[in-house]
Structure 1
Amino acid sequence: MRRVSGLVMAVALGAAGAALAERVSDIRNTKHNLSTSGPGSVRAAPGGTTEICVFCHTPHGATAQDASGAGVRAPLWNRRIPAGSTYTPYTSSSLDAQYIVEGLAATPGGSSKLCLSCHDGTLAIGNVNVLNGAENATIPMTGTGAGGVMPPGEGTTSGFTRFIGTDLRNDHPISITYNADLALRDGELRQLDASQRWPAGSGSVIGVRAPGFKPLIPLEPTGAGGAGQVQCATCHDPHIRETNAAAGNQKFLRMNRFQESPPVAGLTTVGDIICLSCHDKNGAFGVWAFSAHANPAVANETYRAEAAALREFPPDLPVWRAACLNCHDTHTVQGARRLTREGTDAPLPPGSPFAAKQGGNPALEQTCYQCHTTAAKSVLNSVATVPNIESDFALPIRMPITTPEQGGSTDEVHDIATGFNDGFVDCTGPTNRCGTDFMESRTKLAQRHAECTDCHNPHRVVKFRTFAGGASGIAGPPDPAGTHRHDETTGYTHTNIASGVLRGSWGVEPIYGSTSFHALPASYAVKRGDPGASVDTSIAAPYVTREYQICLKCHSDYGYPDNNVYPAGNRPALGRLGGTPSGANNLTVYTNQAKELQAPPTHRGEGTKPNSGAGSNFATNNHRSWHPVLDSTGRTFVSANAFRLPWGNAIGTQTMYCSDCHGSNTPEGTGIPVGGEDGNPWGPHGSTNNFLLKGVWGTNTGADNRGDNGPNPNGACFKCHNPNTYANRNGTGTTGFSNGGENLHALHTDRVGRIRCVWCHVAIPHGWKNKALLVNLNDVGPEAGRAGNEEWRMNASAHAYNQEPYYLNAKLKVRTFATSGNWVDTNCGSANSAQTFGTNANSTATGRDWMRAVCTNPP
């Protein structure tokens, strides 16, 4: 959304307010006129009654107690009221009301009980206490369901019925006390004053009605000591109607059902959807207003006719106007959690992508798939700029997003929560905001799962290359995409700053106590919350500023136990449904990416760096190495043409993302998704390749025929590394593996006749104890369950060391490490160590003699 002057904005809002049709109290022309003259399909049968008010009210014989004998606050109610124990209330692990003193009633009260006397489907609509002086009368009806009850609509377990039933777990919570304590704990509710009014003092929007005081959103004094609570009539007035048919079905709401004007930081009662009256998703800065789901300059796709009709939306309603209703429904499908629209795993009839779901088990991703899917299945008329995420999650290797893939039975493992304290984050305090920030306990993370909201906060995502926005912050014109900049051009430095689609999520920053590859992080700092107006992109910021921070909350010992024992240990096992098969590249368990990706500042650049984790005999000219995910390497020796763009830019100072390597399969030689900017999505959702990589990684990654025919198909390494340098006998360009300008990668490709990356480099190339990710079979250590400085015995080309997780057909033995550009043959060969292991005989040769003995035709 572009900036506009205050005057222009005021005029725009004034015009919107003038254009809005007014609601009038006219029950005669609403569906609640159930008499024979009623305009709806449910009404009294001919000969029934012409009385309108009698279906709810009577001047005599009114109900004073519910079926259990409990007193009720009822305005001369003419229907029996079921006992409160009849109902199963809404619940959620992130419902803060349950932690507030007397904040959540166990049973419905106030107007909610009255509404449910029809809408729960237990009593016939025509059953009233008194009709024309006769008690316990039954008015004959038409258009009702079986037994005269509320009709089923699209199905009693669907989200498109007003047969709400007695199971209220899929309905907006009622009988909850809304006060300052709740607002403080939640963090995204309007902050009420001590009198439960907002704005403070005037209470013109929210408050408990009193003589001379009539707020737009009335709380009911049904709580302990007369505390104001949210009930059905807080949002609905059963007597009103909308005078403008073009405004769409307003569902008896006291304020707008849709967003009527572009959202702004504050609340506009004439322009904003009713949800924002209580739920302050903008805060002081207005992040919701600029989010990708609310900004008219971004969310301008419109609903297709079939989907709009089912939802009772006006034709061609744009996404920004549907606002909260895109993803939530206050009376949603049975089985969904947190009021997510269509958020269950219930199947749809074949060939009917726009039918209503009927019950099912929770499946949050299905809510997102309403739009983020194929053009044929999307509820939107156009999905040209809407990433198709569902298809990625249908690929053979994918994040565990469905309940069976998570090892669950009926309930999703993923569960945003408040009320826990796991040592790194305390969600028990009176201002914890944990539900708002989508926090999960470490206990939940330990059961491997992925849901959309693990990585994305849909209320905060923005369409900008970085989470901080452009030159005008997130208030300026949106960028072409919400993913990070990745152009295969010169002239810019690739970074690891989190993109707009990751804004406001939560993650962790590892804190290290040692530079050794073998040491786990000492601790973690939790990053959470929305940046607001801050443009601080440093890792010291309290919120997420890097993609890896989100990844590491699951892919490290923050998210699962790690006893740091190798080769196996107690880390999660591979082989789950939809995951990389156990045994791929010899792996059976996960490794700890926070440990591997460590980028110690003291190990940047060249030279001898202390305590890398390598054996003491191999410390000279050695240091930790890593792909620059957490930080840059500081190593600048390599020439630019050794890399594909953009990696040839700013060598040594650039950084990268996890999603530069992990994501759906991309064409050979590039990491950009198929279709480019608006093609396949960025991000590690699913892939056809093991380890959720964009290309192939394994024992065959490299080149045959001396590289004359190019690299073997679609190798992951050659998305970034130029195969003409690394895997071609005539290769140009200089890498650290050279001597006096001679390209030793090219030399080995020529002499051996082929090249494999894993012969010399570690099988999990996130980071390593040796420079250049080099294996060293003279120094096999704790990473393979050895003590260190142990040499693996080999004396033939057919011999290769395999030990999960880091050694895969490994061949290289380094006697002494050289500085980059100064390698000679005698740096390699047997160290003739005192400590050796393995069943082979051992060649103790060095240099070319050793290479001829063991490397003429490696596996």
Structure 2
Amino acid sequence: MRSLQHISLSVLFILMTSVAFAAPAAKLQGAHADKKALPRSCQACHRGMQMVIDGEEGTCLACHGSDALRQTMVRKGFLKDRGVADLRDIESELRKPYNHPVLTVRGAHRSTETLPEEVTNAKRHSECVDCHDPHLTEKEKPFRGIKGRRVINQMAEIAHEYELCYKCHSTSVNLPAFATDKAAEFRTTNPSFHPVEGEGRLAFVVSLKEPYAARKASVKDLTTISCSDCHGSDAADGPKGPHGSNFSGLLRYNYEMDDARSESEYTYALCYECHSRTSILANESFAYHALHIEGNRSSGQLGTSCFTCHDAHGSTVNPYLLRFNEEFVRPNSEGKLEYLSTGVAARHGSCSLTCHGSEHKIRAY
């Protein structure tokens, strides 16, 4: 019996390793096909039962984790020194307080799964292979081989980063209670939106810092942004991509969203990456910007967050990304909670609402 078990295990091992090595080898391209970096090619990842023991994440982190793990791969001959230079410690990012749950939700990904998710009780997950095809990925094309959700709801190979994000952060029926459909918020038919899918509605945004611009007037002008411009590592020299951050929302920079905050460059660092703090506090785009975010110093009243009035993704109801946070902004005595624009070019309008004990009844500016 013991002999029979030994033979069975041997056959199983041969079958597993033959499939593991032969199948991917036929399609291995991109960064992992570079034998100057990975001299033993497929064996760097597929060797005996190693992938079963380490799991998908452990296999990836052998090279994309700590320097100590990489040096082990170098000593074993699976990774060459020249291949180490471009590798970053992704594991440290994934262990930050705000992260994609790569290390905490394992074994949930299926190659046949349909995304956006159609099953209500399906486990939310984000494993390495949800975003990266290890047989095709390239340094400058990290999503190569992965299908994403196009604006027209068609699934096709990713051409823009947001198409990858929409797979989980749009119409999935298992979205957390606090989450919203990001595809709906970035839709270019909305009254306003940050320019992810395309250029924004306004022809000119006075507070934008170079090289950002509302419309492309020169080659250097950036008129669209990516999800990872805001979401990603908070470390200045951190790896690209939204793996983890010390800031809430997996943001690259600090962004205070609560009420009663002291304004500073750090408080709204995320916004000030693209928008001039000097311009905002000089009221160049809104006559009462400084009053709202700095507060009334003479009365000792602190300011309120940008988030109190603006949705950083997009607004389905108002221009200027206006969508009031109803935790702090409520209807006035007439039951109105609204903004009315009285001219885009002039940047004038009126608000009807109650905020911080102050009632606005078509209060114009």
Give the TM-score of the pair, scaled to structure 1: 0.36
Q: SS of 1:595's equivalent? A: helix
Structure 2 CA distance for aligned equivalents of residues 626 and 443 of structure 1: 29
Q: What is the aligned counterpart of 2:130 among 418, 441, 454?
A: 454
For the 8 Å contact 2:97–2:245, the answer to whether it is kept is yes
Per residue, is there more helix in 1 or in 2? 2
Aligned to 1:153: none
1:760 equivalent to 2:306? Answer no
1:295 equivalent to 2:41? Answer no
1:700 CA displacement: 5.2
1:332 equivalent to 2:49? Answer yes
What code does the residue aligned with 2:96 have?
L
1:841 CA displacement: 9.2
1:393 equivalent to 2:67? Answer no
Q: Deviations over 1:266-306 (max 9, x none)?
A: xxxxxxxx946984216xxxxx1xx111235xxx44xxxxx
What code does the residue aligned with 1:460 have?
L
Q: What is the aligned counterpart of 2:154 among 522, 525, 534?
A: 525
Aligned to 1:688: 246
For the 8 Å contact 1:596–1:768, the answer to whether it is kept is yes
> Using a 3 Å threshold, how does the CA distance of structure 1 residues 751 and 280 change in structure 2: closer, same or farther?
closer
1:593 CA displacement: 1.1
> Using a 3 Å threshold, how does the CA distance of structure 1 residues 279 and 293 change in structure 2: closer, same or farther?
closer
For the 8 Å contact 2:310–2:322, the answer to whether it is kept is yes
Aligned to 1:792: 331
Structure 1 CA distance for aligned equivalents of residues 317 and 361 of structure 2: 25
For the 8 Å contact 1:701–1:712, the answer to whether it is kept is no
Structure 2 CA distance for aligned equivalents of residues 698 and 660 of structure 1: 17
For the 8 Å contact 2:351–2:361, the answer to whether it is kept is yes
1:625 CA displacement: 0.9
1:723 equivalent to 2:277? Answer yes
1:592 equivalent to 2:181? Answer yes
Q: SS of 1:594's equivalent? A: helix
1:817 CA displacement: 0.7
> Using a 3 Å threshold, how does the CA distance of structure 1 residues 625 and 390 change in structure 2: closer, same or farther?
same
Structure of greater Rg: 1
> Using a 3 Å threshold, how does the CA distance of structure 1 residues 441 and 572 change in structure 2: closer, same or farther?
closer
Structure 2 CA distance for aligned equivalents of residues 461 and 444 of structure 1: 31
1:658 CA displacement: 0.8
1:645 CA displacement: 3.6
1:554 CA displacement: 1.0
Aligned to 1:626: 193
1:693 CA displacement: 0.9
Structure 1 CA distance for aligned equivalents of residues 245 and 160 of structure 2: 23
> Using a 3 Å threshold, how does the CA distance of structure 1 residues 845 and 546 change in structure 2: closer, same or farther?
closer
Structure 2 CA distance for aligned equivalents of residues 596 and 775 of structure 1: 11
Q: What is the aligned counterpart of 1:658 among 203, 210, 227?
A: 227
Aligned to 1:33: none
What code does the residue aligned with 1:447 have?
K
Aligned to 2:321: 773
> Using a 3 Å threshold, how does the CA distance of structure 1 residues 769 and 457 change in structure 2: closer, same or farther?
same
Aligned to 1:323: 41
Residues 140-155 of structure 1 mapped to structure 2, 5 A cutoff: none
For the 8 Å contact 1:396–1:687, the answer to whether it is kept is yes
Structure 2 CA distance for aligned equivalents of residues 377 and 759 of structure 1: 45
Q: What is the aligned counterpart of 2:347 among 805, 823, 836?
A: 823
Q: Deviations over 1:351-402 (max 9, x none)?
A: xxxxxxxxxxxx3111111111222332244633112211101111111113
Q: SS of 2:211's equivalent? A: coil
Structure 2 CA distance for aligned equivalents of residues 718 and 453 of structure 1: 34
What code does the residue aligned with 1:556 have?
S
> Using a 3 Å threshold, how does the CA distance of structure 1 residues 696 and 653 change in structure 2: closer, same or farther?
closer
1:507 equivalent to 2:148? Answer yes
1:647 equivalent to 2:212? Answer yes
Aligned to 1:280: 26
Q: SS of 2:31's equivalent? A: coil
1:453 CA displacement: 0.7
Q: Deviations over 1:587-618 (max 9, x none)?
A: xx211112212112xxxxxxxxxxx5xxxxxx
Structure 2 CA distance for aligned equivalents of residues 442 and 776 of structure 1: 31
Q: SS of 1:773's equivalent? A: coil
Structure 2 CA distance for aligned equivalents of residues 277 and 846 of structure 1: 67
1:745 equivalent to 2:289? Answer yes
> Using a 3 Å threshold, how does the CA distance of structure 1 residues 443 and 758 change in structure 2: closer, same or farther?
closer
Structure 1 CA distance for aligned equivalents of residues 305 and 23 of structure 2: 62
Aligned to 1:544: 158
> Using a 3 Å threshold, how does the CA distance of structure 1 residues 823 and 687 change in structure 2: closer, same or farther?
same
For the 8 Å contact 1:508–1:552, the answer to whether it is kept is yes
1:572 equivalent to 2:176? Answer yes
For the 8 Å contact 2:109–2:125, the answer to whether it is kept is yes
Q: Deviations over 1:703-748 (max 9, x none)?
A: 84xx6xx52446321222221212x34x7xx54x4xxxxx653576
Unpaired runs of at least 5, structure 1: 1-66, 68-79, 87-115, 121-163, 175-231, 236-273, 283-287, 302-318, 344-362, 425-439, 464-481, 483-499, 512-523, 528-542, 562-570, 574-588, 601-611, 613-623, 667-673, 738-742, 785-790, 796-810, 832-837, 852-859
Aligned to 2:78: none
Q: SS of 1:847's equivalent? A: strand
Structure 2 CA distance for aligned equivalents of residues 396 and 828 of structure 1: 40
Q: Deviations over 1:612-631 (max 9, x none)?
A: 5xxxxxxxxxxx21111122
Q: SS of 2:15's equivalent? A: coil
CA RMSD of aligned residues (A): 4.1
Q: SS of 2:63's equivalent? A: coil
Structure 2 CA distance for aligned equivalents of residues 646 and 551 of structure 1: 25
What code does the residue aligned with 1:637 have?
F
Structure 1 CA distance for aligned equivalents of residues 33 and 25 of structure 2: 14
1:773 CA displacement: 0.9
For the 8 Å contact 1:372–1:389, the answer to whether it is kept is yes
Q: SS of 2:68's equivalent? A: coil
1:846 CA displacement: 4.0
For the 8 Å contact 1:445–1:554, the answer to whether it is kept is no
Instruction: Kindly indicate whether structure 1 or structure 2 has the higher relative contact order, using CA contacts under 8 Å at least 6 residues apart.
Output: 2
Structure 1 CA distance for aligned equivalents of residues 143 and 67 of structure 2: 24
